[in-house]
Structure 1
Amino acid sequence: MERKRPGPFRWLQYVYGGRLPPRYREWVLHDATAKTWRLRFTLRILAEALPWLVAAFLVLTFFTPIPVPMVLAALLLSLLLTLFLTVPSADELAEVRLTRHGFPPGTGKAVRKRLGRPGAWP
C-alpha cells in the first residue's frame, strides 16, 4: 500500500492533535515507527511551540519594559523545558497518536521492536 503524505494544512492539523483521514493511516504508522521517529516527534513539538513563542515574544517586547535579550533567554528556557518534559514521553505519545488513527494499542512499540528500532529514549 502506498504511503500518502499529508499536505501542509493536514500536517499542521496532525501536529495539533487532529485526526487525519483514513487514507493517511499508513503514513501515520510510518511517522511513529520510522528510523527518524524521535526526530520527527521533536520537530512536531517545535512546530507546535513556535506560534506560542512568537506570540510571547511580541507581547513581552511591545508591552513590557523587559530587554529583548532577556525575553529571548526566557523563551529559550521555556522551549528547553517543554522539550525536557515531552521528549521522554515520546514513546507513549506516539502510541496515543496511533490509537487515535485506528491502530490497536502497542502497535508502534511492536513495529519498532520488530524493525530493531529502540522505542524508549536512552
Structure 2
Amino acid sequence: MTSPTDADVDAESRVRPPVHRWLWYALGGGLPARHRSWVLHDTTTRTWGMRHVARSLVQMAIPSALVLAFVPSGWALRLAVVGGGVFLGLIFSLAYMAETTEHRVIKAGYRPGTAVHLREQAGMAAQRRESERKRAAAAKRADRYRRRAGG
C-alpha cells in the first residue's frame, strides 16, 4: 500500500476504464491495477458525490428492471414500487457514501483514509482560494470607498 503522494496519482497516469469495466466497478467489482489512480480520482474529484449517486443508480437499475418486467400487477403499482425502492436505496447510499468510496479506494490498493484525506485537502485549498478572493474584493471595495470619500 502506498501514500496518495505517489506519482501514479498524476493525471497523466490516470487510465479511465472502458464501459464494461466501469459497469463492473459501479456494481462493486474491482478494477485492474492500471486503473488504480483513476479510482482515486473518481472518489476524490470535485464531483465525487454525483459520481457515487450515478454508481448507486446503476446498481439499482437491475432490480428495478426485474420488478418492472416480472411483478404481476398494473404499471402504476410497478412504477410506485420501483420509485419507492430507488428513493430508499438512494437514502441508504447517501448515508454510507464516504464509507463506500473509501472501500473502493482501499480495494484499489491505497491506505485507509486516503480518499477522505485528499477530499479534505481539496476542501481546505478551495476555502483558502475563496478567502483570498473575498479579501481581495473587500480591499478593492475599501479602496473604491476611500477614493469616493476623497481620502
Instruction: Note if 1:98 corresponds to 2:109.
Output: no
Instruction: Note if 1:51 corresponds to 2:62.
Output: yes
How far is 1:32 from its partner?
A: 0.3
State percent identity of aligned pairs.
34
Residue in 1 that maps onto 2:115: 108
Q: TM-score, normalised by structure 2?
A: 0.72
Looking at structure 1, the residues matched to 95 and 59 of structure 2 have their Cα atoms a distance apart, in angstroms, of: 17
Partner of 2:28, secondary structure, is coil
Gaps of 5+ in 1: 118-122
Partner of 1:35, secondary structure, is coil
How far is 1:34 from its partner?
A: 0.6
Residue in 2 that maps onto 1:37: 48
Within 5 Å, give how 1:1-122 maps onto structure 2.
1=10, 2=12, 3-60=14-71, 64=72, 66-116=73-123
The runs of at least 4 consecutive aligned structure 1 residues that moved more than 6 Å come to none
Looking at structure 2, the residues matched to 85 and 32 of structure 1 have their Cα atoms a distance apart, in angstroms, of: 18
The root-mean-square deviation of aligned C-alpha atoms, in Å, is 1.1
Looking at structure 2, the residues matched to 107 and 48 of structure 1 have their Cα atoms a distance apart, in angstroms, of: 25
Gaps of 5+ in 2: 1-9, 125-151
How far is 1:17 from its partner?
A: 1.5
Q: TM-score, normalised by structure 1?
A: 0.88
Residue in 2 that maps onto 1:120: none
Greater fraction helix: 2
